Structure formats: C-alpha cells, structure tokens
Amino acid sequence: MRNWIVLFIGTMLVVNLTACNKADGDGLAKDADGLPVIEELMQKSREAFEMRDSYSIEKHETIKKFDEYDGKKEQDSIRNVDYKYEYSKDPQIFYIERPDEFMVSKEYYSEHGFALFSVNEWSSSHKWPYTEAQLKEQFDPYQFMATYNLSMHALKVKEEGGKYVVSTAATFNDNEDPSKTMKKDIKNKLTLTYFIDKKTYLPTKVTTVLNREIKENSEMTRHVERSAEYIYHSLSSAKKKKLINMDKEIMKE
C-alpha cells in the first residue's frame, strides 16, 4: 500500500511540474503569468524569419544632435533617413536603397555579381564588396542582440492585441584607446523592442533608441540620439518578379 501511495504522490508531482511549464496550443512553454518563455519565443521567431522565402524592410531613422556647454544646450540638428531592403531566398538576391549625402544609392547583389546605382547609372562587378554573412546581418532583426551583447535574461515579454512585445534596456560605456592623449567619456543607453505576430511568430516591427553622451572635456558634452524603426513586410509575387528581372537589366557581362 505504501508503494502505491509513493507512486501516486510522485506521479502527481511530475504532472504538476509539467503543468507549470506546459506548452499551449502554440507549442511554446508558458511562465507563471501565462506568457511564453522568452528563450523559446525568440528562437521560434528567429526560425520563422529564416524560413521566409522573400520579404522587404522599411527602415526609418532619426538622428538628433546637440552640444551642451556648462549646462546650456546649443547647436541642435535633426536628420531623418529612410532605407529600403528587399530579399529573395531563391534565387538569392539582396537589394538595398540607402541615402547618401546628395542622393539615394542602390545596391543589388545576386549570383551574377554586384551592381551599384550612383550618379544616375548602374555599374556592375562580378565580385561582391561584402560577404554573404555581412549582408545577412544587415537584414537580420536579431543581430542587435549580438551587436550590443544583450542577454536573453534581460528581455521582458508582454501581450498587446495580436502581438508579443519583447523589450529590454541596457546601459554601457565605450572605452577608447588608452594611448590617446584626449580620452572621451562615452555613455550609452539602448532601448530595444520587438513586435512579434502571435500567429506566425514573424517580427512585424523592431524599434531601437540609442542615446550617446560624449564628454569632450570638462565644459562640453555632446548628445546624440539615434532612433530607428524597422518595419517588415511580405514581398508580393509581383515585387519579387521585378526584383529578379532587375538582374537581367542591370548586370553586364
């Protein structure tokens, strides 16, 4: 009888422990608040993103700068910059539109080489200026975690409508070359937020805000705020076809 009681209690403990970390219909383990375990959610989202055949990204960035002299704010400047990224897995194509000082440059990468649009014309080369890994990093919504050495444990998740909102905030200092005569004290504060679709697990938007405080000397401090919004879209069949056709139009033998 005692053995049966021990077996029953042991079985109930296993059932209860399993239930505390039980996966619901979405296949993700939940925490005590009924929210997905962050490591599983981010892994599933990354896998879903990597499975995409094609997509586009809109990047909207605002750069604000001002100097502070003895506590007084001077020399305000604000610049808005828009980027566009398009990607096809099969055939593999990377397309980037990035603003230059006076114009928007366009970059096209395919199996046939690299082409750059500048000064109203395309020039092409059989060699890519970047490796495939470097290009993929520009398109990867999760590269911020590695770039800023962020830990999964620092991420927090909540639900907002049909989205999981995953966010974190971090502060860190930049250490300049100690051999420099005029060393600068640089402090950074980063806020990073992912918006992940609850049904597909695909990231729909990522926002970053990086505040830098650069102490030039005892009297002057420079402030730079870079806020960016990355919006992810599916690439329609018509746009993908146009992307593929560009290869024939701009690549030269």
Q: Which domains does the chain have, with CATH numbers?
A: 35-250 (2.50.20)
Global pTM value: 0.82
DSSP state of 160: E
Q: How far is residue 203's CA from residue 142's CA, in Å, rounded to a whole number? A: 10
CB 113 within 8 A of CB 167: no
How are beta strands 121-125 and 156-160 bridged, if at all?
unpaired
Which residues, 6+ apart, have CB-to-CB distance to 135 below 8 Å?
94, 109, 128
pLDDT in tens, the chain (253 residues): 444 444 444 444 444 434 444 555 567 899 888 999 999 999 999 999 999 999 999 999 999 998 888 777 777 889 999 999 999 999 999 999 988 767 788 999 999 999 999 878 899 998 999 999 999 998 999 998 888 888 888 999 999 999 999 999 999 887 554 445 456 788 999 999 999 999 999 999 999 999 999 887 777 888 999 999 999 999 999 999 999 999 988 886 5
State CA 104 to chain mean position distance.
Answer: 22
164 neighbors 193 (Cβ within 8 angstroms): no
What's the confidence (pLDDT) of residue 252? Answer: 65
User: What is the DSSP-derived secondary structure letter of residue 112?
Assistant: T
Provide the 8-state DSSP code for 102.
S
